[in-house]
Amino acid sequence: MRRRGVGAGAIAKKKLENAKYKERGNELAAQQLAQLSHQLESFHSNLEEFAGKHKDEIKKNPKFRHQFQQMCAAIGVDPLASSKGFWSEMLGVGDFYYEIGIQSLEVCISTRSKNGGILTLKELHQRLLRSRGKRGQDVTTEDVVMAIKKLKAFGTSLTLHGSGDKCLVQSVPGELNMDHTTILETARENGGKVSCPYVMQKLSWTRERTSNILNHLVQEGMAWVDDLSPDRQRWFWFPSLIKDIY
């Protein structure tokens, strides 16, 4: 009986110790969370002060603006989340990106009949700069990408495919699957055109798979058919990907 009592007491003591450890752990976690929150608030305040001092440079210098965006993202601050509020009122960047987004949409719509709703980010950027004129605020491709992503919240049909120099902008409804984008990338590498045999050899695809994808892109207006080639093959041209056309 005595041994049972000692055993029960040891278990009770162990449970009490575990409860104390858990309580202490919760206290330490709460303290660390409070310290982290204080640090973030302090950083947020310093970021506001920094933004106020460098307001003009953020608005006029694209490289500096991009670095500022990255710094904001690091602490979960989005100065473009709304066209109203502290950040947009201080910097004006909210309105700037919404303006770029609308202008990008206008460029895409105006060229849709020529390219079927697909154009390179580079071409969109170049057309955007021309439409804004020499006196317009400088805009980079990073600005255009940021603006398109922000417009997405309003349900616009602009969609980005890829990144960097390979980025394409789609302005027509409908999803492009991996096969579609692979065909587009293959056409880009070949000067903006492909044929069924060319794709089959290049990608090791079956004729049925290749034909289905190419015909779909033609139906969507993204590709043009050329049956007058000297080699007597049917070539599919993608106007937005033809090198040096613009």
Tokens of 144: 């255009």
Range with top average pLDDT, 137-141, 191-195, 242-246: 191-195
Has residue 133 got a pLDDT over 70?
yes
Q: What is the average pLDDT across 224-229? A: 91
In total, the chain counts a number of residues equal to 246
DSSP 41-110: HHHHHHHHHHHHHTHHHHHH-HHHHHHHHHHHHHTT--TTS-SSSHHHHHH-HHHHHHHHHHHHHHHHHH
Give pLDDT, residue 187.
Answer: 92
pLDDT in tens, 75-96: 666 665 544 455 555 555 567 7
Q: How many CB atoms lie within 10 A of CB 95?
A: 14
Mean pLDDT for all residues in the chain: 78
**What pLDDT is stored for residue 72 in this prediction?**
72
**Interval 94-124: pLDDT, tens:** 677 778 888 888 898 888 888 888 889 999 9
* Highest-confidence segment of 17-31, 99-113, 127-141, 210-224: 210-224
Q: How many CB atoms are located within 10 Å of the residue 93 CB?
A: 23
Q: How confident is the model over 50-77, as pLDDT tens digits?
A: 766 777 777 677 777 777 777 776 666 6
pLDDT of residue 244: 44
